[in-house]
């Protein structure tokens, strides 16, 4: 009898382990459906019980509780919400392999060729054209270079900038703002009238909508980092020209290397095409992650476009869900 029950228990244990492997967290055993004869026809005691009536529920429950919780398997990922989530994600990031890699120049894993930007901006990551050298175990993916500077250093370098003609019409330089340890960054085009007056990006109508977009994935504006390709307002809210964008963008790229977000959302054509150095339009690229030195880049429509055509909000919502899921995944 004891031997039979040991075998029965061993079977049950095995089944539980199997169910755990399949991801079951709890289950119900309906004893009214229990057929003891299935558990060993050789077991005379059970057969006897079965003949007389059903096996005693009280007795069986000592071995197989009718409703019991399997031990919790640690699968839950911390949810992104508020600055607490952000800081815990950051500490997770800091323990990842990527963040512990030595700086690119030290690793010497691919040759760097500096393109034609001014000498004072030679530290900028995206302007480094990389030629990958295969590593010992296959391809080495280029990752963000170590910044080796602070946001303040970059501000000082920008100074009272007159590098491009846009400075002539500006009221204030609109620097990037937000959480310097953000996992998520948004990049827009250039300041509008409200931003120009206040010196803060995305504070006008587009900014209000951007805040709602951020909140739609459970974050707050202060959790993220927000910047533009250009820091001075173009006249009549036109898009910056390519030379204007090329002059200003390197400062943004340096900020990306300092903040090191996990995901960047590029808002609209100007941000998308300049960050990714592509001519492909936003309608083609939106909704699919692109790569910027190992950082996931999600192109989506600019909030100003959504104000003109609210029917496009659905697509932005779809894109933002992917961003949220990616952040949760990278966090785990």
Of residues 125 and 234, the one with the C-beta less far from ligand URA: 234
Q: Which two tokens stand for residue 34?
A: 């229990």
- Distance CA(265)–CA(297), nearest Å, equals 6
Q: Which two tokens stand for residue 30?
A: 């309906």
- Whole-number Cα distances in Å, 106 to 29, 94, 258, 260: 60, 19, 18, 19
Q: How many chain residues bind ligand URA (CB under 6 A)?
A: 13
**Using CB under 6 A, which of 125, 142, 201, 261 touches ligand URA?**
201
| 190 near ligand URA, judged by CB under 6 A | yes
| 147 near ligand URA, judged by CB under 6 A | no
Of residues 113 and 238, the one with the C-beta less far from ligand URA: 238
How many other CB atoms sit within 10 Å of the CB of residue 234?
21
Q: Which two tokens stand for residue 60?
A: 């069986």
Question: Which among 59, 71, 51 has a CA at the least distance from the CA of 5?
Answer: 59
Q: What is the smallest separation between the CB atom of 108 and ligand URA, expressed in angstroms?
A: 37
| 240 near ligand URA, judged by CB under 6 A | no
- Distance CA(104)–CA(257), nearest Å, equals 12
Q: What is the smallest separation between the CB atom of 304 and ligand URA, expressed in angstroms?
A: 6
| 110 near ligand URA, judged by CB under 6 A | no
| 188 near ligand URA, judged by CB under 6 A | yes
| 202 near ligand URA, judged by CB under 6 A | yes
**Using CB under 6 A, which of 127, 228, 247, 273 touches ligand URA?**
228
| 206 near ligand URA, judged by CB under 6 A | yes
**Using CB under 6 A, which of 121, 146, 183, 189 touches ligand URA?**
189
Q: Which two tokens stand for residue 246?
A: 């090329």
Q: What is the smallest separation between the CB atom of 71 and ligand URA, expressed in angstroms?
A: 51
| 261 near ligand URA, judged by CB under 6 A | no
Of residues 125 and 191, the one with the C-beta less far from ligand URA: 191
| Tally of CA atoms within 13 A in the half-sphere of 307 that contains its CB | 12
Q: For the stretch 192-226, what's the b/e string if a residue is b when 16 or more beta carbons lie within 10 angstroms of its beta carbon?
A: bebbbeebbbbbbebbebbbebbeebebebebbbb
List the interface residues with ligand URA, window 280-319 (CB under 6 A): 304
| Closest residue to ligand URA using C-beta atoms | 188
The residue assigned the tokens 């699919």 is: 288
- In this chain, which stretch among 22-30, 153-161, 162-170, 197-205 interacts with ligand URA, using CB under 6 A? 197-205
- In this chain, which stretch among 10-18, 132-140, 149-157, 195-203 interacts with ligand URA, using CB under 6 A? 195-203
**Using CB under 6 A, which of 146, 183, 195, 244 touches ligand URA?**
195
**Using CB under 6 A, which of 125, 192, 240, 261 touches ligand URA?**
192
209 SS3 class: helix
- Whole-number Cα distances in Å, 113 to 17, 105, 190: 55, 12, 28
| 85 near ligand URA, judged by CB under 6 A | no
Q: Which two tokens stand for residue 100?
A: 């512990």
29 SS3 class: coil
By CB atoms closer than 10 A (0-12, 13-18, 19+), residue 34 is middle
What are the residues binding ligand URA (CB under 6 A)?
188-192, 195, 201-202, 204, 206-207, 228, 304
């Amino acid at each position: 009898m004891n031997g039979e029950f040991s075998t029965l228990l061993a079977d049950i244990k095995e089944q539980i382990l199997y169910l755990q492997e399949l991801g079951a967290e709890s289950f119900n055993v309906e004893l009214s459906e229990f057929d003891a004869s299935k558990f060993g026809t050789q077991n005379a005691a059970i057969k006897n019980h079965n003949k007389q009536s059903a096996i005693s529920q009280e007795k069986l429950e000592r071995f197989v509780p009718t409703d019991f919780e399997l031990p919790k398997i640690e699968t839950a990922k911390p949810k992104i919400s508020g600055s607490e989530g952000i800081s815990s994600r950051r500490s997770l990031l800091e323990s990842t392999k990527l963040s512990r890699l030595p700086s690119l120049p030290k690793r010497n894993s691919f040759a760097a060729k500096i393109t034609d930007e001014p000498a004072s901006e030679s530290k900028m990551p995206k302007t480094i054209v990389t030629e990958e050298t295969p590593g010992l175990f296959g391809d080495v993916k280029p990752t963000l270079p170590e910044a080796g500077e602070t946001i303040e250093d970059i501000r000082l370098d920008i100074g009272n900038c007159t590098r491009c003609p846009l400075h002539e019409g500006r009221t204030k330089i609109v620097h990037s703002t937000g959480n310097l340890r953000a996992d998520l960054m948004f990049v827009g085009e250039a300041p509008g009238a409200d931003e120009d007056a206040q010196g803060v990006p995305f504070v006008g109508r587009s900014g209000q909508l951007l805040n709602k977009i951020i909140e739609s994935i459970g974050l707050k504006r202060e959790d993220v980092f927000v910047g533009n390709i250009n820091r001075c307002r173009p006249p009549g809210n036109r898009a910056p020209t390519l030379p204007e964008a090329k002059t200003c963008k390197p400062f943004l790229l340096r900020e990306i290397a300092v903040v090191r977000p996990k995901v960047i959302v590029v808002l609209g054509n100007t941000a998308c095409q300049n960050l990714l150095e592509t001519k492909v339009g936003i309608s083609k690229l939106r909704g699919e992650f692109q790569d910027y030195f190992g950082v996931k880049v999600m192109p989506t429509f600019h909030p100003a476009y959504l104000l003109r055509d609210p029917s496009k909000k659905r697509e932005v919502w779809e894109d933002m869900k992917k961003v949220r899921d990616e952040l949760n995944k990278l966090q785990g």
